[in-house]
Amino acid sequence: MADKILFVDDDTNLLAAFRRQLRKQFQIETAEGGREGLELVKTNGPYAVIVSDFRMPHMDGIEFLSCVREIAPDTGRIMLTGNADLQAAIQAVNEGNIFRFFTKPCSVDMLGESLITGIEHYQRVTREREYNERTRISMAKAGEVQQHLIPKADPTIEGLDIAGKSIYCDETGGDYYDFLDGGGNGNTKISVVVGDVSEHGISSALLMTSARAFLRERSLKPGTIANIVSDVNKQLTRDIEISNRFMTLFYSEIDAIQKQIRWVRAGHDPAILYDPQKNCFHELKGQGLPLGVVEDAEYHECECQIADGQIIVITTDGICEAANKDGEMFGKDRLRNIIRLNAGKGARFIVTTVLDALEQFIDPVPQKDDATLVVIKVNP
């Protein structure tokens, strides 16, 4: 359907002249006054361009076009005015109610050129709005899909209490956590993985999704966790070598019976091990480049014993590096203090408490990076 033009004027002879002179080039509709014009906008729109007289009974052109702006902001608005009303028309332009005005009498050629410009502007604005809406819907669907990739429930592992959560600053994110090789039926060993793709948004989400697939596939095959991380790094490097992106990773394997944790740290922040009995924190460090940087990078496995009551905390940098309105970061000390104060609580309670404290700390500053937290408590 052709884009429609609406002429609004209380002079029926002038409206008839517009229809006669412009009907071959445009789809013209007319209304006798502002009230009738508003009804047509509501019931018969949208219109690409609306041309209105200035002096009309009951509702002048400025008031009418101001109402049109509220109802149909994408519609182009043109005013026709006599010389005596010139200053008022200029005021309307300056206030943003119209984009063109012409003094009467106005030549058909000049008015026709302006209508073409108005239609082109309307089409461009409409295309942009439709594109933005499609993008918004696509991003929302992508975020919904990504949420399904995050563990739907905390794992049930004998001797361990585990909880995790990711909060994205956009519809999609580059943070990742997963629980591998675990489940019910008396299982006492689990792999806990936390990753962070550089930057955030849809491109990081796609890389995170690929890394998740590689990790899940490789974890089902024989080999140490160092072998798993090395093989995933090779695959990821080949896929993203020209994108200049990378992913940090903390891959851990916890044995609740042997009371042992093994881990590989690939450029990720060290996990934290808290011992309530001694009231001390220990970082689970280790050397290794982020994934996707060097195809043949070597990764080394570290290990240590764990004891009943101890707490393992794995985060992404979106927690400790989150800043408030004064530029102060949330920081490791604040995180550790929350862990210390809530060491007697369950893992899910600690996760919730930390993330609530983070939200309150940065408020009213919007979250600028994805934030992920996994808490593992060692139970008797």
pTM score, two decimals? 0.71
Closest residue by Cα to residue 272 from 158, 374, 345, 177: 374
- pLDDT at 365 > cutoff 90: yes
pLDDT at residue 183 in the model: 44
pLDDT at residue 304 in the model: 96
Residues in the chain: 380
Query: Can you give the three-state secondary structure of 58-117, one letter per residue?
Result: CCCHHHHHHHHHHHCCCCEEEEEECHHHHHHHHHHHHCCCCCEEEECCCCHHHHHHHHHH
Q: Which residue has the tokens 């002179």?
A: 21
The domains found in the chain, sorted by start residue, are 4-139 (3.40.50.2300), 150-378 (3.60.40.10)
Q: By percentage, how much of the chain surpasses pLDDT 90?
A: 64
Specify the 3-state DSSP secondary structure of 350.
Answer: helix
- pLDDT at 184 > cutoff 70: no
- pLDDT at 296 > cutoff 70: yes
- pLDDT at 324 > cutoff 50: yes
Average pLDDT over residues 356-363: 96
pLDDT at residue 61 in the model: 87
Tell which wins on pLDDT, 231 or 200: 231
Q: 137-151, 162-176, 222-236, 305-319: which has the minimum mean pLDDT?
A: 137-151
What are the percentages of helix, strand and coil residues in the chain, rounded to 5?
40, 25, 35
Tell which wins on pLDDT, 326 or 61: 326
First and final C-alpha spacing in the chain: 73
Average pLDDT over residues 145-156: 82
Average pLDDT over residues 234-247: 84
CA–CA distance, 359 with 24 (Å, rounded to integer): 61
- pLDDT at 135 > cutoff 90: no
Contacts of residue 94, defined as CB under 8 A and 6 or more positions apart, other chains included, come to: none
pLDDT at residue 178 in the model: 95
CA–CA distance, 56 with 40 (Å, rounded to integer): 17
pLDDT in tens, 69-98: 999 999 999 988 876 566 776 776 666 567
Q: 91-105, 183-197, 344-358: which has the minimum mean pLDDT?
A: 91-105
Residue 311 tokens read as 């707490």
- pLDDT at 186 > cutoff 60: no
Average pLDDT of every residue of the chain: 89
Average pLDDT over residues 195-209: 81
Tell which wins on pLDDT, 184 or 231: 231
Closest residue by Cα to residue 375 from 219, 170, 179: 179
Average pLDDT over residues 188-204: 86
CA–CA distance, 334 with 234 (Å, rounded to integer): 37
Average pLDDT over residues 204-217: 88
Instruction: Specify the long-range contacts of residues 8-15, CB closer than 8 Å, at least 24 apart.
Output: 8/32, 8/33, 8/34, 8/36, 8/37, 8/50, 8/51, 8/52, 8/53, 8/56, 8/61, 8/64, 9/33, 9/52, 9/53, 9/56, 9/80, 10/53, 10/56, 10/57, 11/53, 14/53
Specify the 3-state DSSP secondary structure of 296.
Answer: coil
Residue 216 tokens read as 């899940």
- pLDDT at 224 > cutoff 80: yes
Specify the 3-state DSSP secondary structure of 176.
Answer: strand
Query: Can you give the three-state secondary structure of 127-172, one letter per residue?
Result: HHHHHHHHHHHHHHHHHHHHHHHCCCCCCEECCEEEEEEEECCCCC
pLDDT at residue 143 in the model: 67
* Strand (E) or helix (H) holding 180: strand 175-180
